[in-house]
C-alpha cells in the first residue's frame, strides 16, 4: 500500500495550493499512462520524449481520475488550478524533472537498500548475482531490469530495462512491503538522462564497462559515458564500485572520492579489490581475491573472463554493504548462470549450444573470446543486428564474428521496419571474405544448420536475444526463443 497524502502535501515542495478547494483531495496512486487510469487514480501528465501526456487529460478524467498533475506551459502557468467538470488540473513547472521525487513522497522506502548497476554489458548478470548471493547468505533480495522485476523465483515482465520514475518507486515500495531488504536495479543510460532514478538513495552504485551502444540516442561515446557517470556524480550514491579493467572506469576512479576499484589484475590502489589469480575450466571459474576486505578463494560455476569480472564486482558490492566475506566465499559455488546469459545447452554427441544476449560489438567479442578457451573443436557464431537502431555497429559485429569464430551465420535479430536483407548487407561490408558467411534469416533454421554441420567438440554461440521470447518484425511481434530452439533441436534424433 502506498502512503496516502493530500494533493497539497504531495505538491508542497513545488507549489502551495493549500488554500485551493482541491488541497484535501487524497492521492493514493499516481499513473503516467492514461490507459491505466481507474477510479480514484491521480493522473500525471508530462511532456514526454515521444508523447505529450497532456493530450490525454480528458481521457484520464473520463476513466475516473480524481485529480491531474500536469506540466506547466505557456498556455497553463505554474501554480494554476483548472477544473474540468469537478476534477482539478494542477500545473507544475518542470514536472518531468520532479517525477522521481514526487513518487518517492507517495511510495517511500524505509529500510530498503537499493543497489544501482550501470554499464553497457553485464547489468543483468551482476544484479542477478547480487540478488542470488544475498539470498544464499540469508537476506531477502529482489532485482529490477531487463529480465523482469521482483524476486528471482517470481519475476514479472518489464517493458524497459529501467522503468519510468513512478513505476520504479512504486515497484521498490511494493517490494519493501513484501519484505525485500535489498533490490539490485539495472540503471540504463536512458533512465539516467531522463531522471527516472533521480530521487533514489543508492547504497552502492556499480559500473561494469562502456562500449558502443545507443549512439542513436546519445550521439557520441563521450555523451554516452557522461550519462553513465551521472549515476555517481549527480545521484545520491554512497559507494561506487568501479571496474577499472575498462578504460572509462579507470578514469572515473580518479574523479570519485568514494570509489572502490575492481580489477582482474593485481593493482596497488588503496580502496580496491582484485584477483590475485583467475583460472578457467569446463566446470567454471576459480578466483583468488585480495584487497581492502582481505584475501580468499572461491569457485563459481560460470563461463568466461567477463563473468569473472561480473562475479568480482558483485562480491565487492556485497562486501561494501557489510556482508561477511567468508559467507560469500563459502556460498559462491551455489551461484547459478543467469537466464540467457552464456547459458549452456548440451546433448550427447552434439555440439554445445551457448545462448547469450550479446548484441553489441563488445559483448559479442567478449562472448566469443570467453568460449574460445573452452572450445576443443570449431567455434560457431550465429548473430544479427537490430533494425531501426545504430547502423554503425553492423559491419563491426560481422568483422568480430569473422575474426574470432571459425564459422559465421548471419541471421535476423528484431529487424523491425527495416529489410532483413538490407541489414545483412550492411553487416557483410565488415567482412574480408563475405562469401564465407552463411546467411539464414530464420534463427531456428540457422541453429538447425549449425547443429547439422558441426561436431560434438564444437561450440555454437547463438547471440543477440538471450532471455527474449519474441522477434520484432515490420508489422508484428512473433513468439520466438533461442533457448526453446536450442532445447528442441538438441533433443531431435540425428
121 has binding-site annotation: yes
124 has binding-site annotation: yes
119 has binding-site annotation: yes
Q: Spell out the residues 6+ positions from residue 473 whose beta carbon is closer than 8 angstroms to its own.
A: 415, 416
Residue pair 203/112 in contact (Cβ under 8 Å)? The answer is: no
453 has binding-site annotation: no
Buried b (16+ CB within 10 A) or exposed e, 445-463: ebbbbbbeebeeebbbbbb
DSSP letter at 282?
T
196 has binding-site annotation: yes
353 burial type by CB count under 10 A (0-12 exposed, 13-18 middle, 19+ buried)? buried
239 has binding-site annotation: no
3-state helix, strand, coil in the chain (%, to 5): 35, 25, 40
Cell of 354: 551457448
123 has binding-site annotation: yes
414 has binding-site annotation: yes
Cell of 378: 570449431
Q: Spell out the residues 6+ positions from residue 365 whose beta carbon is closer than 8 angstroms to its own.
A: 400, 404
448 has binding-site annotation: no
**DSSP strand pairing (67-71 vs 87-92):** parallel
Measured between alpha carbons, how far is 268 from 360 in angstroms, rounded to an integer?
Answer: 32
120 has binding-site annotation: yes
475 has binding-site annotation: no
416 has binding-site annotation: yes
125 has binding-site annotation: yes
32 has binding-site annotation: yes
User: How far apart are the two ends of the chain, measured CA to CA in Å?
Assistant: 55
161 has binding-site annotation: yes
Cell of 330: 563459502
415 has binding-site annotation: yes
389 has binding-site annotation: yes
- Binding residues for ATP, by number, are 119-125
- Binding residues, by number, are 32, 34, 119-125, 160-162, 188, 194, 196, 389, 413-416, 464, 468
- Binding residues for meso-2,6-diaminopimelate, by number, are 389, 413-416, 464, 468
Amino acid at each position: 500500500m502506498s502512503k496516502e497524502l493530500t494533493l497539497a502535501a504531495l505538491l508542497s515542495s513545488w507549489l502551495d495550493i493549500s488554500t485551493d478547494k482541491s488541497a484535501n483531495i487524497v492521492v493514493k496512486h499516481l499513473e503516467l499512462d492514461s490507459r491505466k487510469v481507474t477510479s480514484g487514480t491521480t493522473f500525471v501528465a508530462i511532456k514526454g520524449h515521444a508523447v505529450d501526456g497532456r493530450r490525454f487529460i480528458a481521457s484520464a478524467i473520463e476513466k475516473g481520475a480524481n485529480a491531474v498533475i500536469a506540466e506547466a506551459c505557456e498556455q497553463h502557468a505554474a501554480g494554476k488550478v483548472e477544473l474540468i467538470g469537478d476534477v482539478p488540473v494542477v500545473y507544475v513547472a518542470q514536472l518531468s524533472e520532479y517525477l522521481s521525487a514526487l513518487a518517492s513522497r507517495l511510495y517511500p522506502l524505509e529500510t530498503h537498500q537499493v543497489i544501482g548497476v550501470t554499464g553497457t554489458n553485464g547489468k543483468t548478470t551482476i544484479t542477478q548475482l547480487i540478488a542470488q548471493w544475498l539470498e544464499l547468505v540469508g537476506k531477502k533480495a529482489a532485482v529490477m531490469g531487463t529480465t523482469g522485476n521482483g524476486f528471482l523465483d517470481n519475476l514479472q515482465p518489464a517493458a524497459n530495462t529501467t522503468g519510468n520514475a513512478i513505476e520504479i518507486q512504486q515497484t521498490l515500495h511494493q517490494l519493501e512491503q513484501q519484505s525485500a531488504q535489498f533490490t539490485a536495479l539495472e540503471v540504463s543510460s536512458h533512465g539516467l538522462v531522463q531522471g527516472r532514478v533521480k530521487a533514489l538513495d543508492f547504497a552502492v552504485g556499480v559500473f561494469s564497462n562502456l562500449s558502443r551502444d545507443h549512439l542513436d540516442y546519445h550521439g557520441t561515446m563521450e555523451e554516452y559515458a557522461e550519462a553513465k557517470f551521472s549515476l555517481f556524480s549527480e545521484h545520491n550514491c554512497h559507494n561506487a564500485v568501479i571496474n577499472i579493467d575498462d578504460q572509462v572506469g579507470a578514469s572515473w576512479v580518479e574523479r570519485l572520492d568514494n570509489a572502490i576499484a575492481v580489477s582482474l589484475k593485481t593493482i596497488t590502489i588503496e580502496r580496491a579489490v582484485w584477483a590475485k589469480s583467475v583460472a578457467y575450466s569446463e566446470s567454471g571459474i576459480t578466483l583468488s581475491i585480495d584487497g581492502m576486505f582481505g584475501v580468499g578463494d572461491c569457485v563459481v560455476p560460470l563461463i568466461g573472463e567477463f563473468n569473472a569480472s561480473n562475479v568480482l564486482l558483485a562480491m565487492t558490492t556485497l562486501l561494501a554493504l557489510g556482508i561477511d566475506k567468508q559467507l560469500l566465499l563459502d556460498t559462491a559455488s551455489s551461484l547459478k548462470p543467469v537466464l540467457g546469459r552464456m547459458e549452456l545447452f548440451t546433448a550427447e554427441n552434439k555440439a554445445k549450444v551457448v545462448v547469450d544476449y550479446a548484441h553489441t560489438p563488445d559483448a559479442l567479442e567478449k562472448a566469443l573470446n570467453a568460449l574460445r578457451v573452452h572450445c576443443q573443436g570449431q567455434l560457431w557464431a550465429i548473430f544479427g543486428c537490430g533494425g531501426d537502431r545504430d547502423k554503425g555497429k553492423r559491419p563491426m559485429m560481422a568483422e568480430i564474428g569473422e575474426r574470432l569464430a571459425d564459422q559465421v551465420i548471419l541471421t535476423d535479430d528484431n529487424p523491425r521496419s527495416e529489410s532483413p536483407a538490407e541489414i545483412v548487407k550492411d553487416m557483410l561490408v565488415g567482412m574480408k571474405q563475405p562469401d564465407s558467411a552463411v546467411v539464414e534469416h530464420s534463427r531456428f533454421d540457422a541453429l538447425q544448420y549449425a547443429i547439422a554441420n558441426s561436431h560434438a567438440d564444437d561450440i555454437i554461440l547463438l547471440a543477440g536475444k538471450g532471455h527474449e521470447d519474441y522477434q520484432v518484425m515490420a508489422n508484428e511481434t512473433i513468439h520466438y526463443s533461442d533457448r526453446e530452439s536450442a532445447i528442441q533441436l538438441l533433443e531431435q534424433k540425428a
